[in-house]
Amino acid sequence: MAFQQVFRRNFSSATRQSLKIGLVPADGIGREVIPAARAAIEALGSDIPKPEFVDLLAGFELFTRTGTALPDETVEALKECDCALFGSVSSPSKRVTGYSSPIVALRKKLDLYANIRPVVSVAPNPNDKPSVDLIVVRENTECLYVKQEEIKSTESGREARAIRLITERASARIGRMAFELARARPRKHLTIIHKSNVLSVTDGLFRETVRAIPKQNPGRYDDVTIAEQLVDSAVYRLFREPQIYDVMVAPNLYGDIISDAAAALVGSLGLVPSINAGDSFVMGEPVHGSAPDIAGKNIANPIASIRSAALMLRHLGYGAPADRLDKAVDQVIREGQVLTPDLGGKATTQEALDAVLRKL
């Protein structure tokens, strides 16, 4: 993948003697898969600067013990790191007074405005093209995730409202990121996801802002083909004909839903990585959640976290070692002998990790 070409201007790797990596396992299986990612990074040896790991706290479970989901110490420590890996959060589905998702807060505090989620299938033959090869580029700081909600009583019962924020600035930033990624890929195709036929003001602004980017950068994106898709039909076509998509750019909520749905096309959420990226910091994060039903059972799939580590390293400029990680994972999946239960196997988290390490 050509992510390095997009980020090399901001992430200089030439002079690093060490690599300071913040580890935030947070909740549930995050505490099992982030150590696996750490082991995979360590196995790269001299291919990367000597890694220095900083263990940090965050999460709903921490909130239940301390009343704080994201300590200031964690945020300040991350600012001193070169990059980070985040596990998963067990955010409750009902309102809990005083609690707010730490991953949402981290994205805002560190200005990680882009959530980049590649979804790529593993072809049976390494020389074949994957049947699914797309990237969801999700705006990471606004939309309904600004979490400005209220509830009040009316004569007809309780009424709940949420503010949806779409700004030209955020739409332009994520749009430029998407265009750069599309420009660096072989197909050079970008699909703008929206629902402006209904939400003509908010989604309309997102659509118009992204579409205007080539005009503001004459000649730079002439070879990028631009398409649009309403979010509901995009999900439908994603399952029917995923090969039509290359890079998809979407507001926060749509991007979240689309990327999770796309994971079904490659077999499991346990395979899909992501990074939260800004202009000067990157944080890898597996797409899956905290999976409380399997937490602590040593059967969580570590591959998404290992791929997230590879994606993080690639954005830092370490393309060759990132490729080593991805190729090792591909070999394990292709052989099909050591797979966790989400992929139909019986392997433990440790066994799956060991299989990847052997390939390295």
Average of per-residue pLDDT values in the chain: 93
Does the pLDDT of residue 8 top 50, yes or no? Answer: no
Whether 113-274 and 1-112+278-360 are alike in CATH topology: the answer is yes
CATH for 1-112+278-360 is 3.40.718.10
Distance of alpha carbon 59 from alpha carbon 62, whole angstroms: 5
Provide the residue type at 275 as one letter: I
- Both tokens of 93, joined, read 């589905």
Question: Quick one: which of 237, 314, 267, 2 has its CA closest to 124?
Answer: 267
Q: To the nearest whole percent, how much of the chain has pLDDT over 90?
A: 87
With left for phi above 0 and alpha for psi between -120 and 50, is residue 249 left, alpha or beta?
beta
Q: For residue 53, list its beta bridge partners.
A: 21
Distance of alpha carbon 12 from alpha carbon 349, whole angstroms: 33
For the question of residue 128 being annotated catalytic, the response is no
Q: What is each CA distance from 335 to 43, 182, 264, in whole angstroms?
A: 21, 31, 20
Tell me the pTM. Answer: 0.92
Q: Let me know if domain 113-274 sits in CATH 3.40.718.10.
A: yes
Question: Quick one: which of 291, 318, 316 has its CA closest to 304?
Answer: 291
The number of helix segments (H) and strand segments (E) in the chain equals 12, 12
- From the list 47, 99, 111, 260, the catalytic residue is 260
For the question of residue 47 being annotated catalytic, the response is no
For the question of residue 327 being annotated catalytic, the response is no
pLDDT tens across 288-346, in order? 999 999 999 999 999 999 999 999 999 999 999 999 999 999 999 999 999 999 999 99
Q: Kindly state the average pLDDT of the residues 168-173.
A: 97
Q: Do the bridges between strand 50-55 and strand 225-230 make them parallel or antiparallel, or are there none, so unpaired? A: unpaired
- From the list 20, 82, 133, 195, the catalytic residue is 195
Supply the pLDDT for residue 149: 86
- From the list 55, 147, 222, 232, the catalytic residue is 232
Angle at CA 109, nearest 5°, toward 105 and 114? 85
Residues in the chain: 360
Angle at CA 285, nearest 5°, toward 283 and 286? 160
Does the pLDDT of residue 9 top 80, yes or no? Answer: no
Going from N- to C-terminal start, the domains of the chain cover 1-112+278-360, 113-274
Question: Quick one: which of 355, 337, 359, 330 has its CA closest to 36?
Answer: 355
Provide the residue type at 190 as one letter: L
Q: Kindly state the average pLDDT of the residues 151-175.
A: 95
HSE of 122 in the Cβ direction (CA atoms, 13 Å)? 18
Neighbours of 129 (CB within 10 A): 10
- From the list 27, 82, 133, 145, the catalytic residue is 145
Distance of alpha carbon 331 from alpha carbon 126, whole angstroms: 9
Q: CA 206 from chain center: how many Å?
A: 20
For the question of residue 203 being annotated catalytic, the response is no
Q: Kindly state the average pLDDT of the residues 142-151.
A: 88
- From the list 133, 256, 326, 342, the catalytic residue is 256
- pLDDT category at 59 given cuts 50, 70, 90 is very high
Lowest mean pLDDT among 143-152, 191-200, 278-287: 143-152
For the question of residue 260 being annotated catalytic, the response is yes
- CB contact set of 119 (below 8 Å; sequence gap of 6+): 132, 133, 134, 135, 136, 259, 262, 263, 265, 266, 272
Packed helices 30-42 and 303-315: angle between N→C axes, nearest 10 degrees: 50
